[in-house]
Amino acid sequence: MRLKLEEADKRGAVSLEEAMERRKSRRSFKRTTLTKKQLSQLIWSAGKAPSAGATYPLELYVAIGEECVEDIDAGVYHRSERGYLELEMHKEGDLREELAIACLSEMFIADAPVSFVIAVEYERTTRRYGDRGIRYVHIEVGHVSQNIYLQCEALGLATVAIGAFYDAEVARVLSLPEEHKPIYVMPMGEHAQ
């Protein structure tokens, strides 16, 4: 099943400088519903990062809970192609709790309506750059994560970059293909003060 996203706004209410100044990691989330527009904006921001040799090794998965994004069923979605305003359903069901357990039981992840899981296919970059490509892939994940942090800030949403998880467990919960290795989990939603 394919899911059409909305066009992203290219003009926000918060300046880039304000977003950078305010950005911080937030680890408590309200169990509220995000709009499809917010989700679309966040996915757009994740696609706006540089890539070594334009090899584009990143694969974005989006875990969405039950009644967590308007008009979107619970499940894990996969961004079909960078820059495309489209997601495809990868796996059905609200997997937030299982994902939180895979992340060393940081249970605030289960409260967040949405989590992005940034996975990578090393081979796309190492094919060109050899072992050095591994470094490039990790750098790229950092670029994308910062975009997501700043976009969350600009939308008044909270997020945190999570690197501490059981790789094999995250891959199992999301049913990731063998070649897609998870690097970062970023839960996001309204901040619970």
CB of 2 to ligand FMN, least distance (A): 32
| Binding segment toward ligand FMN, per CB under 6 A, in 13-21, 83-91, 118-126, 161-169 | 161-169
What is the number of residues in the chain? 193
User: 116, 103 in Cβ contact below 8 A?
Assistant: no
Closest C-alpha to 41, from 85, 76, 93, 72: 85
Interface with ligand FMN, residue 157, by CB under 6 A: no
Interface with ligand FMN, residue 83, by CB under 6 A: no
| Binding segment toward ligand FMN, per CB under 6 A, in 6-14, 74-82, 122-130, 162-170 | 162-170
State how far the Cα of 102 lies from the Cα of 83, in Å rounded to an integer.
Answer: 29
Q: Please, which residue, 39 or 102, has the CB nearer to ligand FMN?
A: 102
Q: CA dist 148 to 34, 94, 104, 189, Å?
A: 15, 22, 22, 12
Task: Using alpha carbons only, give the angle 94, 184, 46 rounded to the nearest 5 degrees.
Answer: 85
CB of 73 to ligand FMN, least distance (A): 28
Of 69, 110, 160, 174, the one binding ligand FMN (CB under 6 A) is: 160
Torsion of CA 122, 106, 162, 169, to 10 degrees: 0
User: 141, 184 in Cβ contact below 8 A?
Assistant: yes
Interface with ligand FMN, residue 22, by CB under 6 A: no
Q: Please, which residue, 40 or 145, has the CB nearer to ligand FMN?
A: 145
Interface with ligand FMN, residue 110, by CB under 6 A: no
The contact set with ligand FMN (CB under 6 A) reads 24-25, 27, 160-164
